[in-house]
Amino acid sequence: MPGPVTLSDVAREAEVSLATASRAINGSANRTVRPELRERVLAAAERLHYSPDANAQAMARGRTTTIGLIVHDIADPYFSSIAAGVTAAADQLGLVVTLLTTQHQRGREQQFVEVLQSQRARAILIAGGRYDDADGTESLSQALAGYMASGGAVALIGQPLPDVSTVAIGNTSGAIELAQRMHGLGYRRFGVLAGPEGHITARDRRDGFVQTLADLGAPVAPGAIVECAFTRDGGYEGMRDLLSRDLAVDLVFAVNDVMAVGAMAAARDADREVGADVAVAGFDDIVTLRDVNPGLTTVRLPLDELGAKAIELALAGPAAEATVVEVDGEVVVRASTPPRA
Amino acid sequence: MPGPVTLSDVAREAEVSLATASRAINGSANRTVRPELRERVLAAAERLHYSPDANAQAMARGRTTTIGLIVHDIADPYFSSIAAGVTAAADQLGLVVTLLTTQHQRGREQQFVEVLQSQRARAILIAGGRYDDADGTESLSQALAGYMASGGAVALIGQPLPDVSTVAIGNTSGAIELAQRMHGLGYRRFGVLAGPEGHITARDRRDGFVQTLADLGAPVAPGAIVECAFTRDGGYEGMRDLLSRDLAVDLVFAVNDVMAVGAMAAARDADREVGADVAVAGFDDIVTLRDVNPGLTTVRLPLDELGAKAIELALAGPAAEATVVEVDGEVVVRASTPPRA
DNA sequence: CGCGAGCGGGAACGCGCTTACCCTGAGCGC
DNA sequence: GCGCTCAGGGTAAGCGCGTTCCCGCTCGCG
């Protein structure tokens, strides 16, 4: 096989030196090549179908054009929306995204940080709920610190970590606002599908919701808070469990939309009409789920913007201190939580 | 800054040569290092937080550990499901996925193929509907041919292309089966939300459906086939359009699930109850959409398996001829198409 | 005790590219 | 007309690693 054509092939074909060829192709700083020669080189490159070796370039230049994105599960619309924003923003900057998915296995983030460090990625973006797990958090922190020390940039999406720039999501504030609005609609007896123990995002949302209702004089009964997986099936099981407890709740808050949809399915399977018999609210406002019936009340998060924001934050320069910007959600009321007469 | 620690740092720390250090760390072929030395090297690497430079390795070894995945829009659950399969399979093989999204801009695939060729990606996977566009297809073919000539592996997911291995989706067969089943349920007057002109996947699904019904003696009225975008909004608009034509169709086939959900929303907005007044069927069986109400009749595609299959196909070896394996869908009947009395 | 086989370790080269650094020649001011 | 500047082209030194070639040592066997 002819193998890949190298820059020296191009140089030979154009009858110039390597240096000139290199300069002609990617106009080096304040080193200009006579137009005629430049044309000759470019023509030769075209003729030979020259494709510069990104690895060699990375090596010689000492920096890559790669940014790493770590998520739990790319099939989850929450993460895929974020990823869409990241790839779009990266594309605009001429960067390329390598995607790593942990499949919810703890400890993978740290491992992936090391992989990306090996790749000499320009920046690492980590999206997704961490657990309240001191060891895991610590080792992740360490891995990130090592990466940053070697010149890498990092931004988190979701919960912050000490000394790391973060696009923080206003989970608590969103949950508070949601609670207020739902209380305002006349609901008084609440249930919460709270997600798994230790999941920080889930906890923030639950606590914001529960605390606010307590403040408003409509405390959530302890038995009406049920732990469950952060997934559709978790929502389904949780709802079934909750309904079986016969607690007469009239609004169930699932800490994310996917769970809420599972909960709605469980309600239907139990012959409770969502909206009429039991109201349901979620969190995230997943685009694909905006057409569920009845429409799901939720807290809208600008997921696609998070990616761009995170890249911007990471690339703002390691000179900058670790910055935390918070983006807040906005309550969207739909038919799943009709005003309560 | 201390900068990245290199292998020679490790070698010096362990008081051995570079060669030994290299051999100790990634046990080179039939060259073994004395256990004692190996331990010493590994310990030194650990102590120094050595992180091998993937670019340098790629260079020296002449091959990378990267595979490229090109999709239209990662936020689209169809693609994100495929991507999940790809990342999982890649992870298992110790490979890393770089994700490129075309945002539905034509010609980007070709450009991305060139980018990935620059990265010297081991393999390129392209998912997603191409258009019936001779020029675009041709230039993509050319780019792929160039990439393969330089030693790269390729697999497509969706429609095949000459001389390229493909995991083909049984769009036609799925549509045929769906048509038969729907006809069997008693439906006779059909409408089709057909997707955009020239979209091959959309066309195959539409044609399979329409042709089968014609064969069964229940031809779809020409006016009941409406072109629209391949998106949720396309489905919504298309359905609104179709309903406004007052054609008395009793089942509408949207050529994908996302469109079908849009269509259901349009039906509701027009006060037609899905299931009772008008039946709706889709294609794909997107996981996130399995809980829409009423449940959407569709053709289930094993999206997450496609990714693994595609990787396997691509990596099967360039020695192999271009292979096409077809995966077929399976009709799943749900409440959106009740038996017609 | 000598010699050859075999194995472990080291020096050096090459991967493809960028980028100092040097060198040549042209243009300019005095 | 001379020297100085500067533009532009070439040479070569790495970037960090894998790998080949070669040498020295040890062990086994005659």
Supply the CATH number for residue A20's domain.
1.10.260.40
Rg of chain B in Å (alpha carbons): 26
Last residue of a domain, one of B30, B45, B61: B61
pLDDT in tens, A122-172: 999 999 877 878 888 899 999 999 999 988 999 999 988 989 999 999 999
Pair (B212, B100) in one structural domain: no
On chain B, the residues whose CB falls within 8 A of the CB of A99 are 69, 83, 87, 97-99
Protein CA at A41 to nucleotide C1' at D29, angstroms: 65
Tokens encoding B254: 């949207």
Which nucleotide shows the minimum CA-to-C1' distance to residue A118?
Answer: D16
d(CA B118, CA A64): 12
Query: What's the CA–C1' distance between B61 and C23, in Å?
Result: 37
Cα–Cα distance for residue pair B315/B309, rounded to 1 Å: 10
Report CA-CA distances (Å) from B213 to B49, B170, B275.
Answer: 66, 18, 20
Residues A248, A212 contacting (CB under 8 angstroms): no
DSSP one-letter string for A71-87 = ES-TTSHHHHHHHHHHH
Distance CA A190, CA A280 (A): 10
- What letter does residue A3 receive in the DSSP assignment? -
Q: What is the pLDDT of residues B224-281, one digit of tens each?
A: 999 999 999 999 999 999 999 989 899 999 999 999 999 999 999 999 999 999 999 9
Segment (H or E) for A158: strand A153-158
Cα A227 from Cα A235, distance rounded (Å)? 9
Q: Does the residue A336 lie in any domain? A: no
Please name the residue of chain A whose CA is at the shortest distance from the CA of residue B74: A84
Average pLDDT over residues A101-112: 92
Least confident of A5-9, A288-292, B226-230, B314-318: B314-318
Q: What is the pLDDT of residue B341?
A: 73
> What is the distance between the alpha carbons of residues A273 and A293, in angstroms, rounded to a whole number?
11
Residue B254 DSSP symbol: E
CA separation for the pair A318, A325 (Å, rounded):
16
Confidence band for A2, pLDDT divided at 50, 70 and 90: low
Q: What is the reported pLDDT for A318?
A: 66
Instruction: Give yes or no for residue A214 having a pLDDT over 60.
Output: yes
Residue A21 CA and nucleotide D5 C1' are separated, in Å, by 26
Residue B70 forms part of a structural domain: yes
Task: Please check whether strand D approaches the CB of B61 to within 7 Å.
Answer: yes
Nearest CA in chain A to B304: A75
Q: Does some domain include residue B216?
A: yes
Helix or strand run (H / E) with residue A155: strand A153-158
B136 lies in a domain? yes
Q: Do A231 and A288 fall within a single domain?
A: yes
Whether B198 and B250 share a structural domain: yes
Strand D proximal residues, A:4-63, Cβ < 7 Å: 16-20, 31-34, 37, 56, 59-60, 62
pLDDT value of residue B29: 63
Instruction: Please give the Cα distance from A180 to A182 (Å, whole number).
Output: 6
- Neighbouring C-alpha atoms within 13 Å toward the C-beta of A76: 23
Please indicate, yes or no, if residue A101 is contained in any of the structural domains: yes
Give the span between the Cα atoms of B128 and B79, in whole angstroms: 8
In this model, does residue A215 exceed pLDDT 70? yes
Q: Which of A78-92, A126-140, B281-295 has the lowest mean pLDDT?
A: A126-140
CATH code assigned at B105: 3.40.50.2300
Is the same domain home to B126 and B194?
no
B183: pLDDT strictly greater than 90: yes
Average pLDDT for chain B:
93
Q: Which nucleotide is nearest to A19 (CA to C1')?
A: D10
pLDDT above 70: residue A27: yes
pLDDT of residue B69: 98
How would you class A253 by CB atoms within 10 Å of its CB: exposed for 0-12, middle for 13-18, buried for 19 or more? buried
Taking the CA of residue B49 and the C1' sugar atom of nucleotide D19, their distance in angstroms comes to 24
Q: What is the average per-residue pLDDT within A11-19?
A: 92
Number of domains in chain A: 3
What pLDDT shows up at residue A29?
64
Residue B325's SS3 state is strand
CB atoms within 10 A of CB A265: 23
User: What sign for the dihedral angle of Cα B154, B158, B161, B165?
Assistant: positive
Domain final residue, candidates B61, B76, B101: B61
Helix residue spans in chain B (DSSP H): 7-14, 18-25, 35-48, 54-61, 77-92, 108-118, 134-149, 171-184, 200-215, 232-244, 257-269, 303-315
A148-A152-A153 Cα angle (round to 5): 90
The answer to the question of residue A340 being in a domain is no
Residue B319: the pLDDT is 60
Identity of the amino acid at B318? P
Give the pLDDT score at B3. 63
AA letter at B76: D
By the 8 A CB rule, do A340 and A190 touch?
no
Residue A183's nearest CA partner among A210, A213, A221, A146 is A213
Q: Are residues B35 and B12 in the same domain?
A: yes
Indicate yes or no: CB of B55 within 8 angstroms of CB of A55: yes
Task: Output the pLDDT for position A129.
Answer: 73
In the three-class reduction of DSSP (H, G, I as helix; E, B as strand; rest coil), residue A107 is classed as: coil
Closest chain A residue to B80, measured at CA: A75
Which residues touch A46 (CB under 8 Å, ≥6 apart)? none
Q: Which residue has the higher pLDDT, A133 or B11?
A: B11
**Angle subtended at Cα A290 by Cα A287 and Cα A292, rounded to the nearest 5 degrees:** 135
Q: Which residues are paired to B254 by β-bridges? A: B193
**Separation of alpha carbons A162 and A154, rounded Å:** 12
At B72-86, the pLDDT tens digits run 999 999 999 999 999
In a domain, B1, yes or no: no
Q: B204, B175 in Cβ contact below 8 A?
A: yes
Whether nucleic acid strand D comes within 7 Å of the CB of B339, the answer is: no
- The average confidence (pLDDT) of chain A is 93
Q: Which residues of B touch A142 (CB under 8 A)?
A: none
Question: What are A244-281's pLDDT values in tens digits?
Answer: 998 989 999 999 999 999 999 999 999 999 999 999 99
Cα separation, B279 vs B230, whole angstroms: 19
* Residue A40 C-alpha, separation from nearest chain B C-alpha, in angstroms: 22
- DSSP state for residue B318 in the 8-state scheme: T
Spell out which residues of chain B touch residue A266, defining contact as CB-CB under 8 Å. Answer: none
The helix/strand/coil state of A193 is strand
The proportion of chain B whose per-residue pLDDT surpasses 70, expressed as a percent, equals: 97
User: HSE of A71 in the Cβ direction (CA atoms, 13 Å)?
Assistant: 24
Q: Which nucleotide is nearest to A33 (CA to C1')?
A: D8
pLDDT at A4 > cutoff 90 = no
Question: Residue closest to D7, CA→C1'?
Answer: A32
Residue A1: what pLDDT? Answer: 47
Residues in A closer than 8 angstroms to B150, CB to CB, are: 1-4, 51
**B77 in the same domain as B47:** no
Judge if A179 and A233 occupy the same domain.
yes
3-state helix, strand, coil in chain B (%, to 5): 45, 15, 35
Query: Radius of gyration over alpha carbons of chain A, in Å?
Result: 26
Q: Which residue is nearest to nucleotide D20 (CA to C1')?
A: B19
List of chain B residues whose C-beta atoms are within 8 Å of the C-beta of residue A87: 74, 99-101
First CA to last CA across chain A, in angstroms? 77
Sign of the alpha-carbon torsion through A173, A176, A178, A180: negative
- How far is the alpha carbon of A232 from chain B, nearest alpha carbon, in Å? 8
The answer to whether residues B82 and B101 belong to one domain is yes
Distance CA B293, CA A292 (A): 7
> Which residues does A142 contact at the CB level (< 8 Å), separation at least 6?
A110
Q: Which residue has the higher pLDDT, B149 or B132?
A: B149
Residues A325 and A230 in one domain: no
Whether residues A109 and A189 share a domain: the answer is no
The pTM (predicted TM-score) of the whole model is 0.94
Q: How far is the CA of A40 from the C1' of C17 (A)?
A: 19
Q: Are the C-beta atoms of A267 and A243 separated by less than 8 Å? A: yes
Does A77 share its domain with A156? yes
Show the CA angle centred on residue A252, arms to residues B81 and A234, nearest 5°. Answer: 35
d(CA B82, CA B333): 23
CB atoms B118 and A80 under 8 Å: no
Residue B239 lies in a domain: yes
On whether both B43 and B97 belong to a single domain, the answer is: no
Nearest to B119 among A54, A81, A84 (CB): A54
What tens digit of pLDDT does each residue of B17-61 get? 898 999 999 876 667 888 888 899 999 999 999 999 999 999 999
Domain range for A206: 171-301
* Mean pLDDT of all residues in B157-161: 90
Q: pLDDT grade, residue B1 (50/70/90)?
A: very low
The H-assigned helical ranges of chain A are 7-14, 18-25, 35-48, 54-61, 77-92, 108-118, 134-149, 171-184, 200-215, 232-244, 257-269, 303-315
